């Protein structure tokens, strides 16, 4: 099953240890050998590197684990199942520009029905370049963002997050849907059935960071599991919002894993 890693901090960090542990989950410590991707915020824009190859064997990923210095990171290691095609277009994270912002997105789970829904939607905002249900789900979310989240003058600034919770729950009802997403400012995390967080703060509250991962990356007892259907919003290492969504129970069979 694909795995996710995210970082939000109020100052740039080099998460060498965590990224190296996560990198090994791309085909060595876990069965996710079918590609990897790393997106990080640098000088006001996202940089993105990815390869359709095992993360644990990648010299580039190993180099980036030590060189990446950022306050906002999203990474992914892939287990290809829908579709089982291993190429760069199906490798996460995915990146798009929408509503004047730069977005990145990575998913774990499986929601194949979203493909037909999106193909019939006439989405003017985002067209997938690959064949994954993950990228179709990303485009589905961006279309809702464009329609509802940034086009309502005078709307409550929290309304976009509430609408995101609604659409996340609807997509999750199609199967399994855990994701990390960012607009360049926030780290948005949705745990449908398999996601953990570790929040860290210095004693003077001046250094704050949050780590997100499919599975805990070390023995720190501070790791906690998302509640099923929980949506969290982080900015500069602090949780700014949290909502619970209404979803049907996730499937448990292996055929619904990605």
The model's pTM = 0.92
pLDDT on residue 233? 96
| CATH number for the domain whose boundaries are 3-256 | 3.60.20.10
- Is pLDDT above 90 for 160? no
Q: Identify the pLDDT of residue 251.
A: 41
Residue 141: name the closest of 185, 121, 211 by CA. 121
Give the tokens for residue 210.
């949050």
Per-residue pLDDT for 154 more than 70?
no
Instruction: List Cα–Cα distances, 236 to 7, 15, 19, 45, 73, in angstroms.
Output: 9, 15, 19, 16, 12
Q: What is the pLDDT of residue 11?
A: 95
* Main-chain phi, psi angles of 171, to 5 degrees: -65, -40
DSSP 8-class letter at 219: S
At 252 the pLDDT is 41
Q: What is the pLDDT of residue 150?
A: 53
pLDDT band of 1, cuts 50, 70, 90: confident
105: Cβ contacts below 8 Å, ≥ 6 apart = 74, 92, 93, 94, 95, 96, 134, 138, 141, 179, 180, 181
pLDDT of residue 152 exceeding 60: no
For residue 110, pLDDT over 90 is answered with yes
Read off the pLDDT band of 255 (50, 70, 90): very low
């Amino acid at each position: 099953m694909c795995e996710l890693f995210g970082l939000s901090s109020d100052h740039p960090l080099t998460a060498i240890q965590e990224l190296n542990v996560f990198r090994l989950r791309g085909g060595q410590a876990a069965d996710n050998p079918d590609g990897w991707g790393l997106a990080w915020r640098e000088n006001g824009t996202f940089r993105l590197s990815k390869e359709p190859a095992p993360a644990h064997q990648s010299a580039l990923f190993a180099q980036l684990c030590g060189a990446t210095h950022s306050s906002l990171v999203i990474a992914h290691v892939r287990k290809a199942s829908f579709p089982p095609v291993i190429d760069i277009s199906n490798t996460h994270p995915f990146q798009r520009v929408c509503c004047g912002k730069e977005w990145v997105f990575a998913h774990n789970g499986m929601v194949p029905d979203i493909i037909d829904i999106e193909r019939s939607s006439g989405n003017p905002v985002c067209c997938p370049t690959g064949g994954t249900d993950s990228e179709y789900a990303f485009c589905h979310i961006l279309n809702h963002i464009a329609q509802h989240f940034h086009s309502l003058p005078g709307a409550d600034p929290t309304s976009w997050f509430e609408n995101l919770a609604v659409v996340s729950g609807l997509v999750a009802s199609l199967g399994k849907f855990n994701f990390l997403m960012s607009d360049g400012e926030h780290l948005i995390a949705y745990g449908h059935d398999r996601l953990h967080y570790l929040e860290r703060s210095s004693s003077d509250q001046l250094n704050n960071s949050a780590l997100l991962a499919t599975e805990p990356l070390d023995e720190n007892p501070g790791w906690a599991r998302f509640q099923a259907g929980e949506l969290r919003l982080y900015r500069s290492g602090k949780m700014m919002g949290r909502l619970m969504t209404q979803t049907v129970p996730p499937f448990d069979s292996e055929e619904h894993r990605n």
